[in-house]
Each structure stands twice: as structure tokens, then as C-alpha cells.
Amino acid sequence: MTLDQLKPQIITIVSDTNKTVDERLLSICEVLESNVPYYNWVGFYFTNGDKKELKLGPYVGAPTDHTIIPFGKGICGQVAVSNQNFVVPDVSAQDNYIACSITVKAEIVVPIFVNGKNIGQIDIDSNTIDPFTEADERFLEFVCAQVATVLS
């Protein structure tokens, strides 16, 4: 299954108004984790109200202690500030990184924009070193744009 072939499933999930938004987000995590071999932890973080911090939303993978991440901290917190994708081929080379599991080798974080505002992000950890390409960035931008339509 290529990334592009997953797009129709993402649209179907997002459009399912019989499910809550969190149920739909969890389904997206499940589809991504189960169909892309190098996506080993898939989750959403969202800005926590008026606070300068991210709060963990639906996710699939090993439970994490990092349910709240201050803006600027770790890869996720940096994306909350930079508003840009962050692709980390090798997490061991990052100074500002929050380790969730020793099995994780690489990470990608793509922000979610609603009305031009960065309101959260999708975060994916990989147990494979340097697995992400521009195809992942474009695909995850598509996923985030789809998610944004139900958050606005």
C-alpha cells in the first residue's frame, strides 16, 4: 500500500459524522500505524487551551509519559513555535528531543493549521533510522489538512 493509496481511507474516516472527532482521529492513527511499516507510534498533540503547551490527543503505540509538552521543548514543542514540518532522521543527533521509548530512531512532526493558526500536530515515531522522505511530508500535510476540516 502506497501513501497515496491511503488517502481515500483518510477522507472516509474524516467524513464519518457518526463518530466523534476523537474517534476519527484514533482511526486515522490506526490506519497509518497498521499500513505503513515504518510508522510505529502515531499520535496527535493539540494546543492546550490558552496555555503555551501541547496536550496529547488520540494515539496508537506505546503509552507515553509526555502527555503535556511545553512550547519549545522537544521536537513537538519546537513545531508548535516554528509552524513548520520537522523531520528527524536520527533522534540521537538532536539536543532538544524528548525520548518516549528507546526503540525510537526517527521522528516526523507536521503541524495542523485551522484558519492559518497552528493548533496542533501529527507526530510519528519510527523504529527505523532515516525512513522519512518528502513523500511522507506531502502525505502527512494532506492528512493534517483533512483533520483541520473537522476541527474548524
The contact pattern for ligand SME, residues 34-63, with x = CB under 6 A and - = no contact, is -------x-x--------------------
Among 10, 25, 60, 107, binds ligand SME (CB under 6 A): 107
Q: Are 72 and 99 in contact (CB under 8 A)?
A: no
Least Å from the CB of residue 62 to ligand SME: 8
Q: Could you tell me the three cell numbers for 94? A: 538532536
Only segment of 8-16, 95-103, 111-119, 140-148 that touches ligand SME (CB under 6 A): 95-103
Secondary structure in 3-state letters for the chain: CCHHHHHHHHHHHHCCCCCCHHHHHHHHHHHHHHHCCCCCEEEEEEECCCCCEEEEEEEECCCCCCCEEECCCHHHHHHHHHCCCEEECCHHHCCCCCCCCCCCCEEEEEEEEECCEEEEEEEEEECCCCCCCHHHHHHHHHHHHHHHHHHC
Which CB, 9 or 118, lies closer to ligand SME? Answer: 118
Q: Is 100 in the site for ligand SME (CB under 6 A)?
A: yes
Number of amino acids touching ligand SME (CB under 6 A)? 15
Which residue number places its CB atom closest to ligand SME?
74
Among 13, 42, 60, 76, binds ligand SME (CB under 6 A): 76
Tell me whether residue 7 or residue 66 sits nearer to ligand SME (CB atom): 66
Q: Which stretches of the chain bind ligand SME, using CB under 6 A?
A: 41, 43, 64, 66, 69, 74-77, 97-98, 100, 107, 123, 125
